[in-house]
Amino acid sequence: MVMNLYGYAAKSAKSALAPFKFTRREPRANDVVIEILYCGVCHSDLHQARNDWGGSIYPLVPGHEIIGRVITVGKEVKRFKIGDNVGVGCMVDSCQHCDACEQGLEQYCEETPTYTYNSTDPHDKMLTYGGYSEKIVVSDKFVVKIPKGLDLKAAAPLLCAGITTWSPLRHWKVSKGSKVAVIGLGGLGHMALKLAKAFGANVTLFTRSPGKEKDARRLGADQVVLSTDEKQMQSVKSKFELIIDTIPNVHDLKPYLPTLSIGGTLVLVGFLGDLKPVLNTVPLIMGRKSVAGSVIGGIAETQEMLDFCGKHGITSDIEVIKIQDINEAYERMLKSDVKYRFVIDMASLKKV
Amino acid sequence: MVMNLYGYAAKSAKSALAPFKFTRREPRANDVVIEILYCGVCHSDLHQARNDWGGSIYPLVPGHEIIGRVITVGKEVKRFKIGDNVGVGCMVDSCQHCDACEQGLEQYCEETPTYTYNSTDPHDKMLTYGGYSEKIVVSDKFVVKIPKGLDLKAAAPLLCAGITTWSPLRHWKVSKGSKVAVIGLGGLGHMALKLAKAFGANVTLFTRSPGKEKDARRLGADQVVLSTDEKQMQSVKSKFELIIDTIPNVHDLKPYLPTLSIGGTLVLVGFLGDLKPVLNTVPLIMGRKSVAGSVIGGIAETQEMLDFCGKHGITSDIEVIKIQDINEAYERMLKSDVKYRFVIDMASLKKV
């Protein structure tokens, strides 16, 4: 039997999010049904609600930083039982047979992963709806365990902001003593600082806004560099093996490339679009430097990240909101007025 | 005593190369004096003779694929003796104390290497003059040995075209079974095919010109893909771990990025300038792909490459010319009318 549920949806690119009744599939044998307790608010929720990237299908229920409790398991499910605290990130399925999936890199599935919302389920062709809702039904392979001891609401952003910064830090082998910089202090940036610091790296924050020094240091930065100050930029010339660029809007990479050391990589994790102004090859060629991209992370990698965060007591800095305040939260997010992630307490939905 | 010598120089960006009398420094204690036997003709010789990159100082004697015989050694020189066959590539000095130099990456010297021509010697402030000349005086650290058995004239292009493609193949760990593509079949491209094949890679050539199939296969390509043919491009989707892009002019990277596998890298070795049309981040982010650059290689690495080529009998496919034919050779090079590198027989200079 399909499930009738409440959530919050954008009905069009121009409309505010509002209560929405919808159905989810009848659970399959390998499904886990999760009562959603908390859902983080990602910048891409806003992009998709407003169709900034094109391709949004309405009504659209955003939300892919989902923390909840298992309330039903299908008969083939072995890894979860009723009452478990679990998480769901940006994906709820993938082909499971391409090279990427076989390597545990479901985020790069050659047939495109099934995203948690605004995607079509390949089995029943139903549209997927995200975590701004009461419950979700997810194939067990795409459910992760939340380690004991982590604050559940503050763990929600780990499912996207956490794994998005964890994956490049791991892929580019950041470890003790690595020199890492993070561009931008938002949801992704503040997680990148915490994780890089936990790996033992020497961590620098690049920011355009003065006054972030104290917070950045608290979050793990050893140094804060104002990217608009040429002298400060010069002082970190050729320094960084890896730069995690979390800026979600178009921006010039030129000031940052000279701060990479020989063979260094600047990895874009926040901005989808044309790299303007145009990139010049000279700083790449004359220093064996790379400009790369990375998106979220695989499921096994997400579990590894959560386990690490459990062990090291790492969560996101959050501001808890009611679902009724989501539209105001979007406006504040556009002004970077959040430290550093909104998380919806889904109990508020019951008052709809 | 300074040495009075003959060479061929461009007197301005607009003038043809012509005979030129000039002086080189009195050899220092660590210098090797080399009688130049052969000098390869690199596309960048032409770029610099014509001031395409700006910064050319005239008269300019090009040439950085130098093969010669040692005729004098300074008293501190231990590694070379009179009569040795030696090579000189793109650099004749570097600071020797920065991080890059200490790692043997003199090509990325933080104080900028002293290039073989159109550079200022840091010791005596004399302008450097390249290999289109009778003799050259070079610090022993920047002289490499040519292994026995290699055809000297066909070895000349290894000093630039060879090392420029060797270095990224090695850095990105190409080995048996690696899937590698090469864009462009010129001086660099044909060396990339030979070297990648010698490493045991599965090698594909991307070309815009039909009719290169036979030659490409002879040089080491397992497959030739017409980059203008969408169906052929589709057939190599997600295939390559590494693409060596040897195109010396501005070109669109967009058709090539989907042919990289997850985590793959496209490395630019030929084009210095603005990447137009503008690069879009989506193919990078949605496949953890990189766009990188690489320039020549370090001295130890150049020796390693030469030793490998000696062992495997690898040289360049060349057309030998007289120095008097250099201007015609430049015109032919602009039309890609050379298979695959012009090499000047410097004996012809004695007839000036």
Q: Which residues of B touch A (CB under 8 A)?
A: 99-100, 103, 105, 108, 110, 171, 238, 261-263, 265, 268-269, 271-276, 278-295
Tokens (6 digits) for B88? 């000189």
Find the Cα–Cα–Cα–Cα dihedral A278, A281, A283, A284, rounded to 10°.
120
Determine how many CB atoms are found less than 10 A away from the CB of residue B14: 8
- Does A59 sit behind a cis peptide bond, omega within 30 degrees of 0 on the bond before it? yes
**Dist. CA B4–CA B134, nearest whole Å:** 10
Q: Which of B261, B271, B285 sits opposite A268 (nearest CB)?
A: B285
Q: Which candidate, A198, A152, A156, places its Cα nearest to that of A64?
A: A156
- Per DSSP, the three-state class of A107 is helix
Q: Name which of B263, B272, B276 is nearest A278 (Cβ-Cβ).
A: B276
Whether residue B268 and residue A288 make contact (CB cut-off 8 A), yes or no, is no
Residue B220 to chain A, least CA–CA distance (Å): 26
What residue segments make up the domains of chain B, in order of their start?
3-160+317-351, 163-293
List, in sequence order, the alpha helices (H) in chain A.
43-49, 99-102, 152-155, 161-171, 187-198, 213-219, 230-235, 282-285, 299-312, 326-334
Chain A residue with minimum CA distance to B282: A272
Best residue in B288, B294, B301 for a mutation probing chain A (most A CBs within 10 Å): B288
Task: Give the nearest chain A residue to B277 (CA atoms).
Answer: A278
Q: What is the 3-state secondary structure (H, E, C) of B126-145?
A: CECCCCCECEEEEEHHHCEE
- Integer Cα distance of A46 and A56 in angstroms: 11
**Å between B194 CA and nearest CA of chain A:** 22
**Contact yes or no for B108 and A287 at CB 8 A:** yes
Burial class (CB in 10 A: 0-12, 13-18, 19+), B204: buried
Q: How far apart are CA A89 and CA A102, in angstroms?
A: 19
Give the pLDDT of residue A44. 93
Query: Which candidate from A261, A265, A276 shows the least CB-CB separation from B278?
Result: A276
One-letter amino acid for residue B286 of the chain = M
**How far is it, in rounded angstroms, from Cα A97 to Cα A109?**
9
Interchain CB distance below 8 Å, A284 and B291 = yes
**Chain A with chain B: Cβ pairs closer than 8 A:** 122
Pairing of strands A179-183, A240-245: parallel
Closest CA to B62 of B45, B47, B43: B45
User: Hey, are the CB atoms on A291 and B284 less than 8 Å from each other?
Assistant: yes
Chain B residues touching A288 at Cβ < 8 A: 105, 108, 171, 292-295
Cβ separation of A272 and B263 shorter than 8 Å? Answer: no
Q: Which residues of chain B have pLDDT under 70?
A: 351-352
Q: Cβ contacts (< 8 Å) between B276 and chain A: which residues? A: 278
Cα dihedral B275/B280/B283/B285 (nearest 10)? 110
Extended beta strands in A74-185, E state = 85-88, 91-93, 114-115, 135-139, 144-145, 179-183
Domain B3-160+317-351 falls in which CATH fold?
Quinone Oxidoreductase; Chain A, domain 1 (3.90.180)
Interface test with A, best of B91, B294, B296, B301 (most A CBs within 10 A): B294
- Strands (E) located in chain B: 3-10, 17-24, 31-41, 66-73, 85-88, 91-93, 114-115, 135-139, 144-145, 179-183, 202-207, 223-226, 240-245, 260-268, 290-293, 318-322, 341-345
The pLDDT, as a whole number, for residue A209 is: 87
Chain A residues whose CB is inside 8 A of the B160 CB are none
ipTM: 0.95
Q: Give the residue among A274, A272, A273, A280 at the shortest CA–CA distance from A255.
A: A280
Q: What is the pTM of this model?
A: 0.96
User: Would you write out chain A's pLDDT as a tens digit for each of its 352 residues?
Assistant: 889 999 999 999 999 999 999 999 999 999 999 999 999 999 999 999 999 989 999 999 999 999 999 999 999 999 999 999 999 999 999 999 999 999 999 999 999 999 999 999 999 999 999 999 999 999 999 999 999 999 999 999 999 999 999 999 999 999 999 999 999 999 999 999 999 999 999 999 999 988 999 999 999 999 999 999 999 999 999 999 999 999 999 999 999 999 999 999 999 999 999 999 999 999 999 999 999 999 999 999 999 999 999 999 999 999 999 999 999 999 999 999 999 999 999 999 986 5
Q: Which residue is closest to B104 within chain A, CA to CA? A: A262
Residues of A in contact with B261 (CB under 8 A): 99
Distance from CA of A23 to the nearest CA of B (A): 30
In B49-148, where do the E strands start and end?
A: 66-73, 85-88, 91-93, 114-115, 135-139, 144-145
Tell me if residue B205 falls in helix, strand or coil: strand
CA proximity to A151, closest of A35, A298, A309, A347: A309
CB contact (8 A) between residue A293 and residue B293? no
Which helix (H) or strand (E) element contains residue A318?
A: strand A318-322
Q: What are phi and psi of B232, to 5 degrees?
A: -65, -40
Euclidean distance between CA atoms A188 and A340, whole angstroms: 9
Residues in chain B with CB shorter than 8 Å from the CB of A240 are none
Query: Which residues of chain B lie closer than 8 angstroms to A234, CB-CB?
Result: none
CA R_g for chain A: 20
| Six-digit token string for A27 | 């659970």
State the pLDDT at residue A351: 63
Which of A126, A125, A136, A127 shows the shortest CA–CA distance to A159? A136
Give dist(CA A246, CA A77) in Å, integer. 36
Q: What's the pLDDT at B351?
A: 63
Query: Are B294 and A288 in contact (CB < 8 Å)?
Result: yes
**Residue showing tokens 């959560």:** A306
Phi, psi of A216 (to 5 degrees): -60, -40
Q: Which residues of B touch A265 (CB under 8 A)?
A: 290
Report chain A residues touching chain B, CB-CB < 8 A.
99-100, 103, 105, 108, 110, 171, 238, 261-263, 265, 268-269, 271-276, 278-295
The alpha-carbon gap from A288 to the nearest alpha carbon of chain B, in Å, equals 5
Residue whose C-alpha is closest to residue A264's, from A285, A288, A244, A286: A288
Which amino acid belongs to residue A165? T
Reading the block at residue A127, the tokens are 């549209």
CB within 8 Å: B269 and A290: no
Cα–Cα dist B219/B212, whole Å: 11
Q: Nearest 5°: CA angle at A292, between A287 and A293?
A: 165
* pLDDT for res B99: 92
Structure-block tokens of residue B102: 């200490």
Closest residue, chain B, to A251 (C-alpha): B281
Q: Between the CA of residue B234 and those of B61, B256, B258, B266, B297, what are the distances in Å? A: 45, 10, 9, 17, 33
Report the topology of domain A163-293.
Rossmann fold (3.40.50)
The residue count for chain B: 352
DSSP A221: -
- The answer to whether B38 touches B343, Cβ cutoff 8 Å, is yes
Flag if A99 and B262 touch (Cβ within 8 Å). Answer: yes
Residues of A in contact with B269 (CB under 8 A): 285
Are the C-beta atoms of A188 and A270 separated by less than 8 Å?
A: yes
